[in-house]
Structure 1
């Protein structure tokens, strides 16, 4: 057994470049896993820096000093964020409160429709089993409501942390944009010298993550805006809130679109019942999802689309379980990292 392990180690790690890459990956994983909460402001600033690096770099090419470019881009970004908080957030909050107040009536209406199914199809659907299913759903909904209340109370406690983030993140973002080259040079001092393979993977992933974050923001805006136009035109209630949910659902590939369909269908059914208007809305919503999955995603994430859907879903489950929201957000880049490491592994270390 020991000889088998030793031979495997020699086969896979005979190249020092492979050992260096492995150490860097394990150190990065351990740092984020054990100290992710402490480093969260820095991680958020890094994500935003990837998103804003493109306009800063373009302005620097035009001859504008990088400190001026970083200041202008950051100022514009903060203005947009303040406008969103002052204009969009109150409207979304009002719609969310109203939806929560009407949710029990919506669920009751859906359940009333379900309970008529045993009468229509007595040989297929058993009334007792359906009643147990509805009872279990009600218990789950009650637990979810209690969890939402406790989460709301906990969020009040986190207001201080949110205020700290509001100060730290813009400062970190400014310095990450302004002093990018100096920070990268300083970081390289802590990496072993035999790092050509690590540099190759890092260079590829730097481009991939930057493109992914910018592409994901563009996808959220396009899907959310198109959904709002459809919902608002068809006079669907809670159009703004539902369009935001649809836009954010693209953060979770495959799973998000499936989950967000339930509130859209529930609100539409409660408003119109089984009617042509209800069918038209679901058709338009399906077209949006089809365009997103078959046109927008391949256009924005041509490299990530090469991943098999099973690999993407497994990545979402694994990294989401490890790091929550950010694990889900970076599931595709992390899966691409694994693929890049496998492809770049020295040929002398792999048969």
Structure 2
């Protein structure tokens, strides 16, 4: 009996030592006197910093999941929030400039009216392009196809590039789809709207909801931001204010510089194409400049439109030479001078990073992701800068 009791006590001491060794203990607790602890070997102790980090990570995960699930509903509100962020300084400037003689509600209505006029003006740029290009495509497309087959394809064959061009199918396409008049196209559009009534209602609803949401956000933007700041714990508000101010500065510098680049390039392309005698120089040039908000993608779309318009109007290599000269010079000026000087790589939002952010957020959150891509990128950029500063000042980096 004595031997069995001795063996049992030895096993008990071994198990107690095992669980005491593997139980995670904070380094500061090792210097404190031992206190009774739970007998559960799987119990873990977390520091306050770890608890706060876990709480913020949980909030971020829940917010991301909510945005992903509610993306279709959030679209008009996110559009209104982005517009309110961009237009609030203008509203504040109008109110302060009038020194109390202009109520804020009138300033908001005036800014919204200017925005609606600008959007309608941009949409009207598409009308002359469509109205001019459809008859030209109907008349010139068969000739352009024959010219490509007889001149361009043999020239490419000299360099070992073999391409096949089905001219009969292209001509059949032109005869089938481009000979329809505007009345038939309008009737087809109306029938498609009837078939997809939910889509049409969603578009109309968003078109109405965005100005309404924008009005209320512009009226109460400062109060809305103040309410959001009050949610942040008091101990973290100073760091939160510094981070949001820096992100606002980065995003503001990028947007102001990019808008100035877009304006300059729109004027350049419109004037350059008009000097070569292109009829659609103004709408194509302005569209190319405005589409450059999406780096490289907007330039590519404008380039294709200019090539198409030039080939349909001139039906010769003059169109290719014209587009190559204007868009080649424009791309060099924009890439080598305007963007580095006006946007500035010192901000840190490289064009490739902008493209990746737009594609990544768009893939995850849809159209809402495209809208929040740049603000989120600015916040992530500021966060990465702060993390790098802490890392480079830590012992891990210096050792």
When the two structures are superposed, what TM-score results if normalisation uses the length of structure 2? Answer: 0.65
What does residue range 73-84 of structure 1 map to in structure 2 within 5 Å? 73-79=108-114, 81-82=116-117
* From 277, 291, 296, the counterpart of 1:249: 291
Residue 207 of structure 2 corresponds to residue 174 of structure 1: no
What's the offset of the Cα at 1:47? 1.4
| Aligned equivalents of 1:291, 1:70: Cα separation in 2 | 42
* From 379, 383, 386, the counterpart of 1:337: 379
| Aligned equivalents of 1:109, 1:88: Cα separation in 2 | 30
| Aligned equivalents of 2:368, 2:148: Cα separation in 1 | 38
| Aligned equivalents of 2:97, 2:325: Cα separation in 1 | 46
What's the offset of the Cα at 1:41? 1.8
Residue 359 of structure 2 corresponds to residue 317 of structure 1: yes
What's the offset of the Cα at 1:276? 5.2
Gaps of 5+ in 1: 4-9
Residue 380 of structure 2 corresponds to residue 306 of structure 1: no
What does residue range 154-193 of structure 1 map to in structure 2 within 5 Å? 157=197, 158-192=199-233
What's the offset of the Cα at 1:242? 1.6
Seen in structure 2, the aligned counterparts of structure 1 residues 183 and 91 have a Cα distance that, compared at 3 Å, is closer
Relative to structure 2, which stretch is displaced further, 172-181 or 154-163? Answer: 154-163
Larger Rg: 2
Seen in structure 2, the aligned counterparts of structure 1 residues 55 and 312 have a Cα distance that, compared at 3 Å, is closer
Residue 99 of structure 2 corresponds to residue 99 of structure 1: no
Q: Which has the higher contact order (CA 8 A, sep 6+)?
A: 1
| Aligned equivalents of 1:223, 1:42: Cα separation in 2 | 31
Cross-structure match for 1:295: 337
What's the offset of the Cα at 1:183? 1.0
When the two structures are superposed, what TM-score results if normalisation uses the length of structure 1? Answer: 0.73
| Aligned equivalents of 1:78, 1:325: Cα separation in 2 | 25
* From 16, 29, 39, the counterpart of 2:74: 39
- Cα RMSD of the aligned pairs, angstroms, is 4.2
What's the offset of the Cα at 1:101? 4.8
| Aligned equivalents of 1:81, 1:18: Cα separation in 2 | 44
CA contact (8 A) 1:106 1:270 kept: yes
* From 268, 292, 315, the counterpart of 1:226: 268
CA contact (8 A) 1:205 1:337 kept: yes
What's the offset of the Cα at 1:275? 4.8
